[in-house]
């Protein structure tokens, strides 16, 4: 079954674009281990909020991605730029366009 995760994180004031650059820096290893979609977005009404949506072949593929050196480095660099406010939901995809 396809695994999906969607969530938000709040950047320190004025640091949103810096965090986004880190999140988007090198995504090629993700597709190699089962990432079908990785989207990072913003909302002008909430200027420090960052939205992330991911679709994976499996939860294990997602978990494995967190062990990649490039992902670990991006997380380590991003953490000081974030407030610590995170919100996320994971789910099994039942179907839909792009599933």
Domain spans, the chain: 3-92
Regarding pTM above 0.85, the answer is yes
pLDDT tens for each residue of 16-54? 999 999 999 988 899 999 999 999 999 999 999 999 999
Banded pLDDT at 99 (limits 50, 70, 90): low
**Whole-angstrom distance, CA of residue 90 vs CA of residue 55:** 10
Beta carbons of 20 and 40 less than 8 angstroms apart: yes
CATH level 3 topology of 3-92: Alpha-Beta Plaits (3.30.70)
């Amino acid at each position: 079954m396809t695994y999906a995760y969607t969530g938000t994180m709040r950047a320190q004031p004025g640091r949103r674009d810096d965090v986004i650059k880190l999140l988007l820096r090198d995504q090629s290893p993700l597709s190699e281990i089962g990432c079908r979609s990785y989207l990072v977005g913003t909302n002008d009404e909430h200027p420090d909020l960052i939205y992330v949506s991911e679709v994976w072949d499996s939860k294990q593929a997602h978990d494995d991605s967190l062990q990649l050196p490039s992902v670990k480095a991006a997380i380590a660099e991003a953490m000081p730029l974030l407030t610590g406010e995170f919100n996320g939901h994971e789910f099994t995809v039942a179907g839909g366009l792009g599933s």
